[in-house]
Amino acid sequence: MLTDLELRQLYNYKTEEDFRISVKNHAVVNGWLYYHTYNSKHSDKGYPDCTFVRDGRLVFAELKLHKEGTKKGAPTESQQEWINELGKVHSRAPRTVEVYIWRPRDWDLIEEVLE
């Protein structure tokens, strides 16, 4: 399995935005509706980066370019609060509401979820 750094280099992800665009493109090609808050300056903090809807499924994804265990790779406190609350919904409605933290190394999972 490739490391986060190797995947970023392979797919040329210099920024989280580059990664987000790749995820978005994969989702849209596979028929998902996609939402991303373009400028969150006036929005409440913590809402996940991407929201996808298709065929009765609702997927939330927080994207991280850096690996787990690093400051840049960890969700902020407000992001984690959203993830936790959405996770509770997922536990009541699995395969209807799904919540993920995705990094470049999760590309196989991303493809599986958004096929």
Cβ-based neighbours of 76, under 8 Å, separated by 6 or more: 45, 46
Query: pLDDT tens digit string along 22-65?
Result: 999 999 999 999 999 988 788 889 999 999 999 999 999 999 98
Question: Alpha-carbon distance 48 to 63, whole Å?
Answer: 8
Print burial letters for 40-53: b (CB count within 10 Å at least 16), e (below 16): eeeeeebbbbbbbe
Going from the N-terminus, what domains does the chain have, and what CATH number goes with each? 4-113 (3.40.1350.10)
Query: pLDDT tens digit string along 100-114?
Result: 999 988 999 999 999
Query: pLDDT tens digit string along 59-77?
Result: 999 999 876 767 778 899 9
